[in-house]
């Protein structure tokens, strides 16, 4: 996923309203993530590889809050664990055979995990984002 751009498609919303970009700032060690719409950044994050666990530990900044996360990567899936306002949450991103990525967000309450968000990531290019008005042309 790193080094690529993805449309961040939320069901019921414009499928090209936001995009996600991931980039290694230190290859294989520190991953930067940005989620943005045309007029604002919706999330920025930085995750760093923990040598002992093999997981990524990070911080995400979303409107009005920062949250700390642990990311457990595998071949075709990543699972992120954290807390929002004291409630345990997890997000899972799974690679689908068509090359898109399916994302599900869940919160833990009353002894079980419940879905509260769904997203589909579809790969795009920086050129397509420029054409869509996300970046100014050079």
Is pTM beyond 0.85? Reply is: yes
- Comparing C-alpha atoms, which of 71, 110, 67 is closest to residue 93? 71
Q: What does the pLDDT look like over 86-119, one tens digit per residue?
A: 899 999 999 999 989 999 999 999 999 999 999 9
CATH code, 4-131:
2.40.128.20
Instruction: Tell me which H or E stretch contains 118.
Output: strand 112-124
Q: What is the mean pLDDT of the chain?
A: 92
Dist. CA 18–CA 51, nearest whole Å: 33
Give me the numbers of helices (H) and strands (E) for the chain, helices first please.
1, 10
């Amino acid at each position: 996923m790193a080094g690529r751009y993805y449309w961040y498609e939320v069901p019921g919303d414009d499928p090209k309203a936001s995009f996600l970009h991931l980039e290694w700032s230190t290859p294989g060690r520190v991953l930067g993530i940005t989620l943005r719409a045309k007029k604002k950044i919706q999330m920025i994050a930085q995750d760093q590889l923990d040598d002992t666990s093999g997981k990524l530990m990070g911080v995400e900044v979303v409107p009005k809050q920062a949250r700390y996360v642990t990311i457990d990567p595998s071949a075709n899936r990543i699972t992120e664990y954290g807390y929002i306002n004291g409630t345990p949450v997890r997000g899972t991103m799974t690679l689908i055979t068509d090359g898109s990525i399916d994302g599900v967000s869940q919160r833990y309450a009353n002894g079980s995990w419940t879905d509260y968000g769904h997203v589909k990531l579809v790969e795009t290019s920086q050129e397509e984002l420029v054409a869509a008005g996300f970046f100014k042309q050079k």
